[in-house]
Amino acid sequence: MSNTLINLPFTNQSDLQTLVEHRRTSDFERAQLNVFETHQQAYNVGLTFDDLTITGMVKGKKVMHLPDKVSFDYLPGETVITAPGETMNIDFPEADRQTPTQCIALVLSKDLIIDTVHHLNQQAPLKGIEGDWKVNGDFYHLSNSRPFSESVNQLLNICFYDQTLIKDQIVNLRLREIVYRLMQTQARNMVESKYTELGNSPFAEVIKYIKNNLSEDIKIETLSAKAHMSRANFYRHFTQELGISPGTYIKNERLKKAKGLLKTTKLNIQEIAFDLGFKSASYFTTFFKNESGMTPQAFRRLDV
């Protein structure tokens, strides 16, 4: 399954109130879902919400300018978190009537976030990461994890395709799950970016070992020993806290390194396969195609 958000219906052209950030809104007890679409080029369009907001690109491209941050391209498969009162200034360099952009903005009430964080810290405290569960403002531009995008897509399905299921209690469950999946994604980004600095984090040592040993046959028993946990506890806490199983994390790291080698070196497919611990070039090619949808050779030819 993809990490992108599901296709949403565009507004009929005759019903558009504006060609720039036309807005549709669904209000819930503790959240508001907005769908924005833009049908022409536009620049420096400001957008501000009073509460913490999770935005997700559905179609097209934006360029985001956030206060005191470096500007960046914003694409499908990505999420941007903004703090209460933080203004997004947005460019739409490629939008037109044939290829409009579409983005969601899920505004979450403060009490929803507090309740969810408190529940997790009480019922499932972190074991492999320092500190407590929290929405981390340092990690505001994220690549969607599969569990996160799936939880957002469930909410979108309720709103757009399952009108009979719109009930506050069902939506509230989905919203709590979205906050949880967001924190998992942020936690994984934090450990990955700071694993050399987090000396007291069991998972930091695990991440370091995985990244440095992708050419080896990495065993769960080895990783659990690095984390000073039993095999069962390690697997459960790693998946619970980072939102991905250890095996899937290893697979994703191999794919990430493979893409880097294909684009930045002239190593042949067999050399890359062996460098990543695959027994043959054919096995590596099958793996790469299953995970990326194309062969290594086709990826190497892409202008990306």
pLDDT tens track for 247-299: 999 999 999 999 999 999 999 999 999 999 998 999 999 999 998 889 999 99
- What pLDDT is stored for residue 1 in this prediction? 45
pLDDT of residue 197: 75
Tell me the domain boundaries of the chain. 13-184, 202-301
- List pLDDT tens digits, range 31-41: 999 999 999 99
Q: pLDDT value at position 124? A: 92
Examine the pLDDT at 28 and tell me if it is beyond 80: yes
Domain 202-301 in the same topology as domain 13-184? no
* Count of other CB atoms within 10 angstroms of residue 10: 16
CATH code of the region 202-301 = 1.10.10.60
User: In this predicted model, what pLDDT tens digit does every residue of 189-236 receive, in sequence order?
Assistant: 888 888 877 667 889 899 999 999 999 999 999 999 999 999 999 999
* pLDDT surpasses 60 at 302: yes
Query: What pTM value is reported for the model?
Result: 0.86
Residue 67 or 303, more confident: 67
In this predicted structure, what is the pLDDT of residue 72?
Answer: 97
User: pLDDT tens-digit profile of 98-156?
Assistant: 999 999 999 999 999 999 999 999 999 999 888 899 999 999 999 998 899 999 999 99
Burial of residue 114 (number of CB atoms within 10 Å: 0-12, 13-18, 19+): exposed
| Three-state secondary structure string covering 2-69 | CCCCCCCCCCCHHHCCCCCCEEEEEECCCEEEEEEEECCCEEEEEEECCCCEEEEEEECCEEEECCCC
What is the per-residue pLDDT for 130?
82
pLDDT recorded at residue 199: 66
Q: Reduced to 3 states, what is the DSSP secondary structure of residue 91?
A: strand
**164 pLDDT band (50/70/90 cuts)?**
low
Instruction: Give the residue-averaged pLDDT of 65-90.
Output: 96
How high is the mean pLDDT of the chain? 92
Domain covering 13-184: architecture: Sandwich (2.60)
Average pLDDT over residues 34-59: 97
Q: Could you read off the pLDDT of 166-180 as tens digits, one per residue?
A: 677 888 899 999 999
Q: Side chain identity at 277, as an amino acid letter?
A: G
Angle between helix 168-194 and 110-123 (nearest 10) = 70
Nearest to 209 by CA among 228, 222, 194, 197: 222
Residue owning tokens 């049908």 = 39
